[in-house]
Structure 1
Amino acid sequence: MRLGIDIGGTKTDAVAVDGQGSVAQRVRLSTGFGQAEVVETAVTAVTRIGELTGLAAAGFDTIGIGIPGMVDRSSGRVAHAVNLGLDRVELGDLLAGRLGRGVRLENDVNAAALGAYHVLGLRGSMAYLNLGTGMAAGIVVNGSLWRGATGIAGEIGHLPVDPAGELCRCGQRGCLETMASGSAVARHWPTDDPLPVRALFAAAAAGDPEALAVSAVLAEGIASAVRVLVLTVDVDAVVIGGGLSHLGEPLLAQVREVLERWSRTSPFLASLQLPRRVRLVPEGTPVAALGAALVGEN
């Protein structure tokens, strides 16, 4: 039995995974803010899963944690996890001290990539395109994460595509993230709806011209990310996940429409069959927590 914990900015998802790779138990709880609260959140998740499985922390084969920010897998240090109030925190050591055993940490998008690859039963190569507050991708090749030389493989959200575009939080202009992310939608479509993307697509479906324009930019940004991933890594599949993926088929259909339009004017792109490579992560599947449970093998 392996335990995986996905620590998000507001919610934490934890699962126990059995020997066949199936989710045996699952709990969800609110995430605290700051070093002490994040540690307490993780410990509580282990405790609650332990109560459901009858296992103490030491009874799990592995405990893996997916968390935002830059994660040093060898030391367990987490940096730049601004939404959690963590920077240069030795989280691995802190949790080992509380749990009485070692844990393995991984970036949350990488963990979700592993989980999606497993859930979809994929082979070969896959890029998991996470569309949440920001944009990032995790790359899996033959069941193992491909992190690159310094661990930033997949950070395509900060790839500039418009030199005259908006200023990105990374300091560059016109990054993909400024076009296709939850934060981009919130800026371009102000609304009181707690889910701005849902409000955007509802207004677009009703024929609102501005909503149609904003949703078109969003779809083109996502399609651009798919194109980048295929042209640079030539993955067999690009799986869209994250908060924006909850829009489901309407979003996927719009992205595929953009890819098909580009293919009609470019024989080269047509030969890559981009629309066929893109798909959605299964709705309601805890891919990030599941992937965290699998990080011990990667």
Structure 2
Amino acid sequence: MGRRVSSDLSGRSIRVGLDVGGTKTDAVAVDADGDIVARVRRPTGWGDEAVIASILDSVTALAEEGGFASSELRSVGVGIPGLVEPATGRVLHAVNLGVESLDIPGRAGSVLRVPIAVENDVKAAALGAAALRGDGASMAYLNLGTGVAAGIVTDGRIWRGVHGTAGEVGHLSVDPAGRLCGCGQRGCVETLCGGGALAKAWGRPGALPVRDIFEAAESGDPHALALRSDLARGAAAAVRILVLSVDVETVVIGGGLTALGDRLHTDIVDALRREAEGSAFMRSLRLDERIELLPVGSPAAALGAALVGASEHAPVPDKEIVPHG
């Protein structure tokens, strides 16, 4: 996930985490006690050079916001969409950033002179969400955004599987006669509850198509009602898959679609209850009681990235990490 930089890190206490998204980078600085001492959000650039610049600029802005010097920086963790080579931290196929292959540890590490670890953004968010919950329970983080993916945390660690694909629930087909998915299959979970697939199926202009779908559904639009039902059905299927396959205690739902708030939560709960009506076994699992929404604006992804950086190179504080600011 990263690469060591030859430098003396003794006495350094600040660990930085960056959630590098398609439009913005959310960054936090965590001190030796495990507290978030600074948080900034900055636009993310397009292409290799701009992504590296976004990372470096975010670290500089954090230092200014938190009032610490670069000499106090101990590690940097980066969560980023795309495939991440575990041994090198090289990012592959981050199409939403215009990146085909980028050596973030080498490029940014040579400037910052600290160890840099890189992790897939959803897996980093899963680790951060688990830390914020603070109870040590096994947990899956279900990301409902443009696409759909999940990260699984057990015993405080990300569970990757043999080839790193554990949690890729978005491309499990639940309706072979359903809409065509970008992966080539039909009826994948992502075609039902991914923001990109819903926007395409909605087919109407608008800055926030999923919000528009919900509002039109509340006005009785039959097409919107069907798509809103699809979203709940797809998310409920993802929750069932995660619980039945790895038996996590909780599924925390995050991602851009959580801006829908209680409407989304209620729809998913109703779908889980409705689809369990004919099965005593499914009712016994109480799936409707095992889900929760990550609060909008949560620093989970950036915090998880900081923990990735810390766990690669130094012990993680025992203290529960509490977000500030």
**With structure 2 as the length reference, what TM-score do the two structures score?**
0.88
Shift of 1:232: 0.4
Counterpart pick for 2:128 among 112, 115, 129: 115
Q: Spell out the pairing of 1:9-28 with structure 2 (5 A cutoff).
A: 9-28=22-41
| Structure 2 residues not aligned, in runs of 5+ | 1-13, 313-325
Secondary structure of residue in 2 paired with 1:173: coil
Counterpart pick for 1:243 among 232, 238, 256: 256
Q: Spell out the pairing of 1:74-113 with structure 2 (5 A cutoff).
A: 74-113=87-126
- Separation in 1, partners of 2:155, 2:200: 38
Q: Is the 8 A contact 2:142 2:149 kept in 1?
A: yes
- Separation in 2, partners of 1:92, 1:58: 18
Match of residue 182 from structure 2: 169
Worse overlay, 35-44 or 256-265:
256-265
Shift of 1:79: 0.5
Shift of 1:58: 4.4
Worse overlay, 190-199 or 40-49:
190-199
Question: Aligned partner of 1:292: which letter?
Answer: A
Match of residue 286 from structure 1: 299
Match of residue 219 from structure 2: 206
Shift of 1:88: 2.3
- Separation in 2, partners of 1:210, 1:167: 18
Q: Is the 8 A contact 1:15 1:23 kept in 2?
A: yes
Match of residue 297 from structure 1: 311
Q: What per-residue deviation string (whole Å, max 9, x for no partner) do you get for residues 119-142 of structure 1?
A: 222322100000111000000112
Shift of 1:282: 1.7
Secondary structure of residue in 1 paired with 2:276: helix
Q: What per-residue deviation string (whole Å, max 9, x for no partner) do you get for residues 150-197 of structure 1?
A: 111111111112222222222222211111110121012233331111
Secondary structure of residue in 1 paired with 2:197: helix
Match of residue 167 from structure 2: 154
Q: Is the 8 A contact 2:276 2:282 kept in 1?
A: yes
Q: Does 1:45 align with 2:58?
A: yes
Using a 3 Å threshold, how does the CA distance of structure 1 residues 252 and 13 change in structure 2: closer, same or farther? same
Q: Is the 8 A contact 2:140 2:150 kept in 1?
A: yes
Shift of 1:210: 1.7
- Separation in 1, partners of 2:122, 2:70: 24
Query: Equivalent pairs: percent with the same residue?
Result: 52
Question: Aligned partner of 2:41: which letter?
Answer: R
Q: Does 1:264 align with 2:281?
A: no
| Structure 1 residues not aligned, in runs of 5+ | none
Match of residue 6 from structure 2: none
RMSD: 1.4
Q: What per-residue deviation string (whole Å, max 9, x for no partner) do you get for residues 245-298 of structure 1?
A: 111111010100011112211111011110000110022212111111111326
Question: Aligned partner of 1:244: which letter?
Answer: L
Secondary structure of residue in 2 paired with 1:239: strand
- Separation in 2, partners of 1:215, 1:35: 37
Match of residue 5 from structure 1: 18
User: How many equivalent pairs are there?
Assistant: 298
Q: Spell out the pairing of 1:120-139 with structure 2 (5 A cutoff).
A: 120-139=133-152
